[in-house]
Copies of this chain bind each other. A is one copy, B any other.
Amino acid sequence: MPVSEQDVKLIEKIVEEKLKKLLAEKQKRMAIIASKGTLDMAYPPLILATTAAAMDIECSIFFTFYGLDIINKKKNKNLKVPSLANPAMPVPMPNIIGALPGMTAMATRMMKGWMKKVNVPLITDLLDIAVETGVKLVACQMTMDVMGIKKDDLIEGVEVCGAAGFLEYASNADITLFV
């Protein structure tokens, strides 16, 4: 039986509607690479990931290079904000002052103060929320080898994997970010 032109139109319409529905229903996914170990750059991956989890977006963070410090239990309570080389700091200071010992500590204390004032949780609290809401925290195997970090040095609930494993996950993600 030959398919009429009208049939083709009808089939195409069904395809269009079904495609829209399938794309809308698709489980969304976000893959973040966290490569920085400063306090200011520890917030974005964790705030984005916990927000995504609350929206039912599946999410995984790959902690690599300095970013590994964020899930290092010996270090992540003491992440610091650099006072130097950041002319965008809300209270800009000439570099020669920023270079004085103590200025990094001051910049760090300032940021913690602001965050607390508007009820932004601490990094360690954000990590707890992330684990509770199903965000996958992944440590980069190569970074652990390079820096001599053992799995015991990391917080609970972390998986270890290589770049290939993470790229496999990211290649099916809707949002991919390198922080």
Binding site for B on A (CB under 8 A): 1, 3-4, 7-8, 10-12, 14-16, 18-20, 22-23, 28, 30-31, 33, 35-38, 40-41, 43-44, 47-48, 51-52, 54-55, 57, 64-66, 69, 79-90, 92, 94-96, 98-101, 103-104, 114-115, 117-118, 120, 142, 145-147, 162-164, 167-168, 170-179
Closest to A149 in B: B90
Pick the contact of A164 from B51, B85, B176 — CB < 8 Å? B51
Q: Is the Cβ of A172 less than 8 Å from the Cβ of B171?
A: no
How far apart are A22's CB and chain B's nearest CB, in angstroms?
A: 6
Q: Is the Cβ of A171 less than 8 Å from the Cβ of B163?
A: no
How far apart are A13's CB and chain B's nearest CB, in angstroms?
A: 9
A43–B64 CA distance with the chains assembled, in angstroms: 11
Q: Is the Cβ of B51 less than 8 Å from the Cβ of A163?
A: yes
Q: Is the Cβ of B146 less than 8 Å from the Cβ of A118?
A: yes
Q: Is the Cβ of A55 less than 8 Å from the Cβ of B167?
A: yes
Q: Is the Cβ of A86 less than 8 Å from the Cβ of B99?
A: no
Q: A40-B65, A176-B176 are known contacts; what are 13 more A-B pairs with Cβ within 8 Å? A: A3-B14, A11-B18, A14-B15, A18-B19, A20-B22, A28-B171, A51-B162, A52-B167, A80-B92, A84-B99, A96-B100, A115-B146, A178-B179
User: Inside 8 A of A16's CB, which chain B residues have their CB?
Assistant: 18, 22
How far apart are A61's CB and chain B's nearest CB, in angstroms?
A: 12
